[in-house]
């Protein structure tokens, strides 16, 4: 019996040691990715804005998901608050206390939006630069122009913290903690995009959907543990049975033809509710073609 307990103890100690070694590997790997120094060439664009550009940028601020993470006034908000996974918020992007540092210029805006990086080339956590890198130049310039007009708001967002489960998920590429890794830093976006009810324009608009629904739009496990499965929004999913009007109603009200009420935290229908009819029709045409 004594020999039995001895071996149980040895096995237990060995398992604990292996777990500690495994987590050390995870921590070192993720820390290296979080603190990686990137060197990118920022393509200058003319950001001289007029009132029309600012007004357009105000709309894009909502329809491109900026408000979902940074708050309606750009004041910043925590959107992942699970210490086991992470505590991460969209930063305060106004000039108030806790907001943008002095000297945050056009180059810094482009580093953040197009590349998911700080002005010094370090990754920004959960900043979907893989989407914004593909926005037409005029649209991105309009967003920046609008953000520069935001009134100063004093609000300090907690510094990002990554928990043990978050590091494990990041290690296995199940949590997009460092979008700069997935961003095409060489991508040459169009200057403008033609707005029309067509699959081509729908494909352009669908850029915003890929962060959750995946590049193939087939969905899958949610990035956040415990949250619902992300839907397949190709013709092979429920969308394949929906009419154009049903699709528009779903993205305007959050209620599906099947009677399910979508949680805005999981599917930001309050954002898509602000799309025009033509934008939603184009998006529908593209997704139905998949």
- Residues 222-279: tens digit of each pLDDT: 777 777 888 899 999 999 999 999 999 999 999 999 999 998 888 989 999 999 999 9
Is it the case that residue 183 has pLDDT exceeding 80? yes
pLDDT tens column, 151-174: 999 999 999 999 999 999 999 988
pTM of structure = 0.86
Task: Supply the pLDDT for residue 2.
Answer: 66
Please provide the size of the chain in residues: 290
**Residue scoring higher pLDDT (61 or 13):** 61
Residue that has been written with the tokens 């649209």 in this structure: 139
Is it the case that residue 47 has pLDDT exceeding 70? no
Task: Supply the pLDDT for residue 1.
Answer: 61
* Residue 77 host element (H or E): strand 77-82
Sign of CA dihedral 171, 172, 175, 179: positive
Residue 159's CB: how many other CB atoms inside 10 A? Answer: 9
For the chain, where do the domains classified as CATH 1.10.760.10 start and end? Answer: 199-288
Task: Supply the pLDDT for residue 139.
Answer: 94
Burial 65-77, CB ≥16 within 10 A → b, else e: bbbbbbbebbbbb
Show Cβ contacts of residue 11 under 8 Å, excluding neighbours closer than 6 positions: none
Query: If we measure between CA atoms, which residue out of 249, 256, 257, 289 comes closest to residue 273?
Result: 249
Q: Which CATH superfamily is domain 199-288 in?
A: Cytochrome c-like domain (1.10.760.10)
Beta pairing class for 77-82 and 86-90: antiparallel
* Strand arrangement, sheet containing 86-90: 77-82, 86-90, 161-162
Residue 250: both structure tokens together: 């779903």
Taking a C-beta distance cutoff of 8 angstroms, is the pair 77, 142 a contact? no
Residue 232's CB: how many other CB atoms inside 10 A? Answer: 19
**Would you place residue 179 in the very low, low, confident or very high pLDDT band (cuts 50, 70, 90)?**
very high
Task: Supply the pLDDT for residue 115.
Answer: 96
In angstroms, the CA 25 to CA 171 distance is 9
| Mean pLDDT (the chain, rounded) | 90
Is it the case that residue 18 has pLDDT exceeding 90? no
**DSSP 8-state assignment for residue 187:** -
């Amino acid at each position: 019996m004594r020999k039995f307990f001895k071996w149980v103890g040895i096995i237990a100690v060995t398992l604990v040691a292996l777990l500690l070694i495994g987590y050390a590997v995870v921590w070192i790997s993720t820390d290296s990715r979080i603190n990686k120094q990137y060197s990118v060439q920022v393509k200058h664009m003319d950001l001289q804005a007029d009132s029309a550009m600012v007004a357009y940028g105000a709309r894009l601020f909502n329809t491109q998901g900026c408000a979902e993470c940074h708050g309606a006034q750009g004041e910043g908000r925590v959107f992942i608050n699970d210490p086991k996974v992470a505590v991460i918020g969209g930063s305060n992007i106004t000039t108030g206390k806790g907001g943008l540092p002095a000297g945050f210029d056009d180059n810094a805006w482009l580093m953040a939006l197009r590349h998911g990086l700080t002005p010094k080339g370090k990754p920004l956590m959960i900043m979907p630069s893989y989407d914004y890198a593909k926005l037409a130049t005029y649209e991105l310039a309009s967003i920046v122009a609008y953000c520069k007009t935001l009134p100063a708001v004093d609000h300090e967002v907690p510094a990002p913290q990554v928990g043990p489960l978050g590091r494990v998920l990041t290690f296995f590429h199940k949590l997009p903690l460092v979008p700069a890794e997935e961003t095409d830093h060489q991508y040459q976006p169009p200057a403008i995009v033609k707005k029309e009810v067509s699959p081509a324009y729908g494909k352009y608009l669908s850029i915003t959907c890929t962060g959750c629904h995946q590049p193939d739009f087939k969905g899958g496990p949610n990035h956040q543990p415990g949250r619902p499965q992300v839907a397949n929004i190709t013709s092979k999913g429920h969308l394949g049975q929906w009419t154009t009007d049903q699709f528009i109603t779903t993205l305007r009200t959050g209620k599906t033809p099947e009677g399910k009420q979508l949680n805005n935290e999981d599917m930001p229908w309050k954002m898509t509710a602000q799309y025009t009819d033509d934008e939603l029709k184009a998006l529908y045409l593209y997704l139905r073609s998949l």
